[in-house]
Amino acid sequence: MVCMRCGKGPRMGFNRPHSLHRTKRIIKPNLQLVRGVKLCTRCMRTIAREHAHVTPVAAQPAS
C-alpha cells in the first residue's frame, strides 16, 4: 500500500468526535492501479499535468 512514484503510504491518525474522545485510526492513501503501477491520485494528477505541457514536435516540411 505505497505509491510507487512518491512513496506515500498509510499514516496514523485519530478519530475525534464532538465529545473529543480520541481513538486511533489508519489514514490510507487513495491508490489506483494504472498500467500495472500503484499510484496515488495526487501523482496521477501531476503526471497528467506534466504530459499536458509537452508539445509534439511539428513535422518539418521536406525540402
pLDDT of residue 4 exceeding 80? yes
Which residue segment(s) compose the domain that 32 sits in?
Answer: 1-46
More confident residue, 54 or 51: 51
Is residue 33 domain-resident?
A: yes
Contact 39, 5 (CB under 8 A): yes
In the structure, how many helices (H) and strands (E) does the chain have?
1, 4
pLDDT at 63: 61
- When pLDDT is cut at 50, 70 and 90, the band that residue 58 belongs to is low
Over the stretch 17-38, which tens digit does the pLDDT of each residue have?
A: 999 999 999 999 999 999 999 9
In a domain, 56, yes or no: no
The answer to whether residue 37 sits within a structural domain is: yes
pTM: 0.72
